[in-house]
Structure 1
Amino acid sequence: MAREVVPRPGVETMRAADADRHKIADQLKAALEEGRLSLGEYDDRLREVYAARTYADLLGLVADLPKAGLSAADVNARRLAEARRQARRMPLALQVLWTIWASVVAVNVAVWFLVEVTVAGHVYPWPIWLLAPGAALFATTIGVQSIRRQQRR
């Protein structure tokens, strides 16, 4: 009788290979050497590593361990740096608005330059009027970022 083929939702359900088990065992050994695991914990987890069938089984055994060579201070510093990076990140709506504004400015300046070069005499620099919506967008961005900063405190 043929087995029914079931679509797999993710990598976690895929079967692990011996090479994958060896990599996880090496991570556990490094954690033991760094003092993150006791000998008993190492032994228990190692047994589970070689009994694991899927990636989810394997990844669960090292989920609470940092990468080898990282101290708690390193992990904390990386976490804080990532939080600061996320805090500085502009909301998607503002990124879209800035992109649209920059595109409109670029097209207007290019057209103005072509007209200035091809027409005899001086042509009024109409792209300067695009500074007003740019200033409004800048003020909005500053306001949104300061509100977000206050909400995080």
Structure 2
Amino acid sequence: MRAADADRAAVADRLRVALDEGRLDLHEYDERLQRAYAARTYADLEALLTDLPPVTPAQRSGLAPAAGPTVGLLGDQLGPAPSRGVTARWLAEVWFPYLRVIAIVVTIWAVTSLLSQDLLYFWPAWVAGPWGVVLVVRTVTGVAGGEPQRQAVKRQRRRERKQAKRASESENPHQPPDPHSHLMW
């Protein structure tokens, strides 16, 4: 299918984001940008993005012709502003258990120091230090690898499956529940 000007602009925006993220150098960005504006078909445009991580789920990509409404390549739902929220949520999921445990062990250390009326050895550092290093590495590799977006897509798919299941159950209220529905195959 032939691409429209809006499709070319969306790819140009996605390439700019990739440049800003450090995924493309300036020379490669310029070369791909020229090819994007010269592209005639969706296939020409897709070839420019194949080695870049997706911003929107593939089934809702603005490059894939669809019968229903499409979402632009930068995505109305997972574009630059919402992706900050996606990343923040992922960071909270990764770091909050650590912060809770550190708060508990520091509280235990503080209470025991108070009760002994002496400043005890700060042993919570042995919990916080190694675990913190592991979390820093996980955070850096996760953000660089697009893990927050993948998690958001998975959550969205789960939500959509639940909604579809509820809708099918409401359409067939007299059908008995499947006794094997809880089994994962």
TM-score bracket for the superposition, by shorter chain length = 0.3 to 0.5
Greater length-normalized contact order (CA 8 Å, ≥ 6 residues apart): 1
Say which one has the larger Rg.
Answer: 1
TM-score, with normalisation over the residues of structure 2?
0.40
Higher fraction of helix = 1
